[in-house]
Amino acid sequence: MKMLRHFGLIGYPLSHSQSAKYFSEKFEREGILDTEFNLYPLEKIEDILDLREKIAGLRGSMSRFLARRQS
């Protein structure tokens, strides 16, 4: 059995994000198996290290930290 691949959006706040719905539907529609997309609300970038340890298979993420710092 393949390991589940985790993708997601990190940052804070994420309550407005439609990313999880969009990517979940895209993965299903395109037959991309063993993959899920979640929101990971982290207030501090330093918390990403804990997140990577907790979630095996975390493959990629898009970050709102950079966007917030540039505004």
State mean pLDDT over 58-66.
55
Residue 37: CA atoms inside 13 Å, Cβ hemisphere, count? 17
Domain ranges for the chain: 5-70
Query: 61 Cβ partners below 8 Å, 6+ apart?
Result: 7, 8, 9, 10, 40, 48
Q: Residue type for 10, please? A: I
- What 8-state DSSP symbol labels residue 30? T
5-70 maps to which CATH number? 3.40.50.10860
* Per-residue pLDDT reduced to its tens digit, 34-53: 888 999 998 888 888 888 88
* Per-residue pLDDT reduced to its tens digit, 17-26: 999 999 999 9
Q: Residue type for 65, please? A: F
Comparing 68 with 53, the larger pLDDT belongs to 53
- What 8-state DSSP symbol labels residue 58? E
Question: What rounded mean pLDDT belongs to the chain?
Answer: 80
Residue 31: the pLDDT is 93
Query: 32 Cβ partners below 8 Å, 6+ apart?
Result: 26
